[in-house]
Structure 1
Amino acid sequence: MFIVLLRFSDNKAQASAFMQGHNEWIKRGFDEGVFLVVGSLQLKAGGGIVAHNTSLSDLQSRVNADPFVAENVVTAEIIEITPAKADDRLKFLLG
């Protein structure tokens, strides 16, 4: 399981120019079963993604394909988590 932090860079003002491509990229992540949750970081600092069902290298390639990342609207940080315990609703993350 992975947490992806997308923090706005100095090029944040260009976000609207790439928003449609970014939203299409998010939709692909859900359609392909990789993204579980996507949302905004508080204080309008960027966004966050919970991802699974992928490898670190595949996720890095996917993140690099985000127009926000490619156009330096955000910088990306990927944090890998190995779940050890989960609520019954999230047991699928343990396998």
Structure 2
Amino acid sequence: MFVTFLRFAENRTAAPEFMAAHNDWIAQGFADGVFLCVGSLQPAAGGAILAHGESREAHDTRIAADPFVVEGIVTAETYEIDPKRTVPALEFVKAAS
């Protein structure tokens, strides 16, 4: 399982121009069954993604393809989590690790 922080970078003012493509990229992550949760870092610091079900290499490749990353709107920092305890609804993430 991975948590990726997308922190705004120098080109953050270009975000509106690439927002539709970024949202399409997010939708694809959910459609692929990889993204569990996506949200904003508060206050207005960027975003975060909770993901599972793919290798680190595949995840890094997916993150690198985010239009916000490509355009330098955000920088990405990913941490891998080895889940030990979860609520029942998230038991499936332990089986995947």
TM-score after normalising by structure 2: 0.96
Partners of 1:86 and 1:68 in 2: CA distance: 31
AA at the equivalent of 1:82: D
Deviation per residue, 1:36-88 (Å, 9 max, x gap): 00000001000000000011100000001000000000000010000011111
TM-score after normalising by structure 1: 0.98
Root mean square deviation, CA, Å: 0.5
Partners of 1:16 and 1:44 in 2: CA distance: 14
Quote the residue 1:39 is aligned against.
Answer: 39
Tell me how far 1:23 sits from its aligned partner: 0.3
Quote the residue 1:53 is aligned against.
Answer: 53
Quote the residue 2:26 is aligned against.
Answer: 26
Gaps of 5+ in 1: none
Count of matched residue pairs:
95
1:71 counterpart = 2:71 = yes
Gaps of 5+ in 2: none
